[in-house]
Amino acid sequence: MFELAVELIDETPALAIDWAVVSRNVAAMAALASERGVALRPHVKTHKLIPLAQLQVACGAVGVTVAKLNEAEAMAAGGISDVLVAYPVVGSSKLRRLLDLAASGINLAVALDSAPAALDLAIAARARSLVVPVLIEIDTGLRRCGVQSAAEALELARLADDQHGTSFAGIATHEGHAYATSGAEGLRQATEDAAGAMREVAQALEDAGLPAKTVSMGSSGTARFGIGLEGTTEFRPGTYVFNDRTQVALGAAAREECAAAIVATVVSRAVPGQAVIDAGSKVLTSDRMLVANPRPTFGELADDPDCEVVRMSEEHGILGGGAVERLAVGDRVAVLPNHICPVVNLFDSVRVLRAGNVERWPVDARGSV
């Protein structure tokens, strides 16, 4: 799968991206959204790459989703003109930067879940003669951010719409709790339940004279079930561009649809039954698979899924199982990570496999946390 990267990358550890697989993944998700009549607004926190965001928009995405302001700034600098900041913007410095972006002419919206965040944004925007569209975040089960009821959503929507610096644009949720359910049917049911909760909130808002133009959901693991559900107008998947062990375990992707792997070198075979590679937690992260009852390992070899990263320290990954005995000091391996999103943020650059060559691309929004 990543033979070219293993052969041509000069130094390890390195993050390799198969552009042909990425292109297929992007096209497939765009086609699904188009077929089901849903706007696609992919989350770029996964890849943080301007050329990949540009590809997503060229394939039909209405814009992008970001988690943090410096991601938004990077995307705007790369010509992406429609951005949702799906994270409450709190603090005067961040509000100033947000409004600088809004004043630059891009279409910018913000998701939030509290009156203080909404009021501070409205006051700051009004002082600059700007109006920022606001999406109210709804908690549909993740228990992280989001208002807890339709009544709270209505109160906050009214507040945002009554100000002269903000306008109410819709509602948004992230149904990430669905990942912890068991099996495809559990995942489907959790996704449908989240969409049902969003419909209830949207109906309450409409009944009160504040219709939600946008009803936004999103995750890669739920996309095949969530895109096209009644009432949902927009979907925000992120991980699908690369996929990882979690997405494969969820049934959201096949192994051949994994477009990113860490190329590492075997640096020790001193202990029988294991091999040590130069990629530890500072490369692979310590994230477990985002599924119910995850395997207690941190990655697997692309060409030998039974050979896993069974243990890590900061700079060392310990391989065990599978055909580990075939490995020798100096051998190169490609590791599929549990969760690709934090992995990308740990690299200053990625190696892109394209047209038989390896290109080095900067991670444009690296460190945007």
Neighbour-count burial of 264, counting CB atoms closer than 10 A to its CB (0-12 exposed, 13-18 middle, 19+ buried): buried
User: What pLDDT, on a 0 to 100 scale, did the predictor assign at position 1?
Assistant: 77
Q: Which CATH number do you get for residue 167?
A: 3.20.20.10
Q: What are the Cα distances from residue 119, in Å, to 157, 186, 212, 260, 283?
A: 12, 39, 20, 41, 40
Domain annotation covers residue 369:
no
The whole-number pLDDT of residue 4 equals: 82
Residue 253: which residues within 8 A CB-CB, separation 6 or more? 25, 220, 240, 243, 247
Q: For position 283, what pLDDT does the model report?
A: 98
Does residue 171 share a domain with residue 70?
yes
Q: What is the pTM of this model?
A: 0.97
For residue 367, being part of any structural domain is answered with no
pLDDT score for 146 = 98
pLDDT at site 301: 98
Boundary residue ending a domain (243, 270, 289): 243
Q: Is residue 257 part of a domain?
A: yes
pLDDT by residue, tens only, the chain of 369 residues: 798 888 889 999 999 999 999 999 999 999 999 999 999 999 999 999 999 999 999 999 999 999 999 999 999 999 999 999 999 999 999 999 999 999 999 999 999 999 999 999 999 999 999 999 999 999 999 999 999 999 999 999 999 999 999 999 999 999 999 999 989 999 999 999 999 999 999 999 999 999 999 999 999 999 999 999 999 999 999 999 999 999 999 999 999 999 999 999 999 999 999 999 999 999 999 999 999 999 999 999 999 999 999 999 999 999 999 999 999 999 999 999 999 999 999 999 999 999 999 999 999 999 999
- Same domain (yes/no): 45, 158: yes
Query: Distances from the Cα of 31 to the Cαs of 61, 82, 139, 224, 240, in angstroms?
Result: 10, 20, 28, 12, 13
Could you tell me which residues are beta bridge partners of residue 264?
333
- Domain extent, residue 350, equals 3-15+252-362
Whether 65 is in a domain gets the answer yes
Q: Are residues 24 and 59 in the same domain?
A: yes
User: How, if at all, do strands 349-354 and 357-362 pair?
Assistant: antiparallel
State the CB neighbour count (10 A cutoff) for residue 206: 11
Helix (H, G, I), strand (E, B) or coil at 103: helix
Q: 20: alpha, beta or left, given left = phi > 0 and alpha = psi -120 to 50?
A: alpha
State how many domains the chain has: 2
